[in-house]
Amino acid sequence: MSIKQIAVCTDFSDNAEKAFGTALEIAGQYKAKLVVLHVMPPIVNPVYSDFDSVVMTGPEKSIILELEERMEQEYGARIGESVHYELTVLDGHVSTSIIKFLEENSIDLVVLGSFGLSGMGLVIFGSVAKRVSHKAPCSVMIVRERE
């Protein structure tokens, strides 16, 4: 198996942290490029109109900049010069955006934590790891901590 590009998905949770550590180690072993990917879900802004509908609005640029800075502090600063890397922030439906990114960027391996959200968030949004593992165009590694 040839691994030239690895993507690791983060939502800044403990599980995403474990996935990052694993992806960084694999990137070092294979001398692969590491893409740290965060997808910000759409901001839902309830605007009541004649239709009593919910209007989806795009993210503010300042939020994206804050996320990019956070990624640089939490991940970029720890990667160092031994691994070529890229930090990417997208907005949209999380699993759909991840899958589209994997396709468009010829990623060879994607690494995710077993879950990020818990409780009601997991029930409402479902498992991103499950969706990505079923639809990804590349190999998928799901990292989980032993209990």
What confidence score (pLDDT) does residue 59 get?
52
DSSP 8-state class, residue 41: P
Structure tokens at 117: 């959200």
Parse the chain into domains and list their residue ranges. 5-143
Instruction: Specify the pTM.
Output: 0.81
In order along its 147 residues, the chain shows pLDDT tens digits of: 799 999 999 999 888 999 999 999 999 999 999 999 999 887 665 555 555 545 445 556 788 889 999 999 999 989 978 899 999 999 889 999 999 999 999 999 999 998 655 444 444 345 888 899 999 999 999 998 776
What confidence score (pLDDT) does residue 123 get?
41
Which option is the CATH number for 5-143: 3.40.50.620, 3.40.50.150, 3.30.1050.10, 3.30.460.80? 3.40.50.620
What is the phi-psi region of residue 83: left when phi exceeds 0, alpha when psi lies from -120 to 50, beta otherwise?
beta
CA distance readout (Å), 137 to 33, 42, 72, 86, 114: 18, 24, 27, 20, 19
How buried is residue 130: exposed, middle or buried, by Cβ count under 10 Å (0-12/13-18/19+)? middle
What confidence score (pLDDT) does residue 35 get?
98
What confidence score (pLDDT) does residue 126 get?
52
